[in-house]
Amino acid sequence: MKRKVIQKLVALVSAGTMTAALLAGCGSTGGAAESAGSSDTAAEAGTAADGDSIPVGVISPNTGNLATYGESVLNGINLAVEEINAAGGVLGKNISIISYDDKADSTEGANAFNRLVGDGACAIIGSVTSGVTASLAPLADESQIVLLTPTSTADTITESDNYVFRACFKDSYQGKMAAKFAAEKLGVKKVAVLYASGDAYSAGVRESFDAACSELGLEIVAEESSSSTDDTEFSSQLTNIAASGAEFLFAPYYYNAAGPYIIPQARAAGFEGVIMGADGYDGTTESMLDDKTLYNNCYYTNHYSPDDTSDVVQTFVTAYNDKYGAKPNALAALAYDSAYMIKDAIEKAGSTDRAAIRDAMSGMSFEGVTGKFILDETGTPEKSVAVIEFKDGEAVWNCTLD
């Protein structure tokens, strides 16, 4: 079949014009789309198999502070869709992508979700941050459409919603693994914590880290917080941490805070110990200050490493680099796997009916770039954790924890 990749990058501020194929419905829709004023005609036009392509929605932060995340996610999905379509597509049809920008904002995310339901998407990949995805989860159940998040790790996201799944491990798992790394790999005894109390992701990882410290005999000698992951001033908290005698600082924020603010301010405050984050640090190399030595002795947990020598990883890394001229981060890898998970679910379902796709996703066994796993009863995989280390401005693989 001739290669055909259709991508719809549509700004939320404009209505956009969808083709007839993209307006075709994918099974039943519910009140979420209707409450946003979406057209009933679009929602009830039939299944995507009636058109020329199978529309899959994507919600990601393509502008704003976390735009790097959105770029990586879209790159990974587009690469996967290009490969899928080149190999013959799904059910004899190409996949087409309809993408909306949530700007890392829950209201924007809900608007994007409701538009995708009205546009006839048979499944949705998104969003990226836990806060936005958590706000979309009840909408997915209400609309009876699969919502597969590549990267949202908050524990509660998949626990009470039948149509919500994820390709990543959850916060309680990576918080536990960060504590395990501190205790068993580094041999530290005294740790400190800095987290954003108003952010579901940061607070969730911190909670699981604290619990694991208690189990592993690590002493938390200081615990400080800020209100948001978008904060830029941490000097007061970090001065207290530096004076606490901590050997290890766990600070689960995103790259936009870690690179230009938290790590440099910790060093300026006199903290010379290990600094570690969670998967939100992926992308920090793009936001580092000029003095890259500030970031030595810093680590983070992640979902995969491009340095993994397995054939499946290196094939992906090569294809991604050939297409985009860059090494793929974990967000790109998880998004790539997510696209293939949706493809597998549609194939197993034998149709683009939304409920059938949901049934095919449940308990899915999958092997991809980020690992081999079976989705548990909550729609979450448990798999290995890669620990990444910063060395003179480069992110390199340190070890893998099981």
Please say if the pLDDT value at position 348 is more than 60: yes
How many CA atoms does the CB half-sphere of 309 hold within 13 Å? Answer: 1
Same domain, 100 and 234: no
Within-domain flag for 138: yes
For 143-201, give the secondary structure using H, E and C: HCCCEEECCCCCHHHHCCCCCEEECCCCHHHHHHHHHHHHHHHHCCCEEEEEEECCCHH
If DSSP codes are grouped into helix, strand and coil, which group holds residue 125? strand
pTM of the model: 0.75
The pLDDT assigned to 1 comes to 34
165 and 176 part of one domain: no
Q: What angle do CA 285, 286, 288 make, to 5 degrees?
A: 65
Residue 317 resides in a domain: yes
Judge if 10 and 149 occupy the same domain. Answer: yes
For 84, the enclosing helix (H) or strand (E) is helix 67-86
- Please say whether the beta carbons of 33 and 114 come within 8 A: yes
Q: What percent of the chain has pLDDT over 90?
A: 81
Same-domain pairing of 14 and 122: yes
Q: Is residue 15 part of a domain?
A: yes
The DSSP letter of residue 287 is: S
pLDDT tens for each residue of 355-398: 999 999 999 999 999 999 999 999 999 888 999 999 999 999 99
54 and 13 in one domain? yes
Percent of the chain with pLDDT over 70: 88
Identify the CA nearest to 145 among candidates 85, 55, 70. 55
pLDDT digits (tens, 9 = 90+) for 300-323: 999 999 998 889 999 999 999 999
Please tell me the distance from the alpha carbon of residue 104 to that of residue 49, in angstroms, as a whole number.
32
Tokens for 83? 């490969």
CATH number at residue 257: 3.40.50.2300
* Per-residue H/E/C for 85-107: HHCCCECCEEEEEEEEECCCCHH
Asked whether residue 277 falls in the same domain as residue 254, the answer is yes
* Same domain as 361, residue 296: no
The verdict on 237 and 322 lying in the same domain is no
- Same domain, yes or no, for 149 and 113? yes
Residue 26 domain boundaries: 6-169+311-369
- Binning pLDDT at 50, 70 and 90, where does residue 43 land? very low
Split at pLDDT 50, 70, 90, the class of 20 is very low
Segment 103-117 shows an average pLDDT of 98
In a domain, 376, yes or no: no
At 37, the pLDDT band (50, 70, 90 cuts) reads very low
254 and 391 in a single domain? The answer is: yes
- Helix, coil or strand: residue 238: helix
Model pLDDT, residue 337? 99
375 domain-assigned: no
Number of alpha carbons in the 13 Å side-chain half-sphere of residue 198: 6
Please indicate, yes or no, whether residues 159 and 247 belong to a single structural domain of this protein.
no
Report the DSSP beta bridge partners of residue 373: 366
User: Is 298 part of any domain?
Assistant: yes
CA pseudo-torsion sign 235, 239, 241, 246: positive
* Structural domain contains residue 379: no
Does residue 123 form part of some domain? Answer: yes
Domain count, the chain: 2
Shared domain for 288 and 334, answered yes or no, is: no
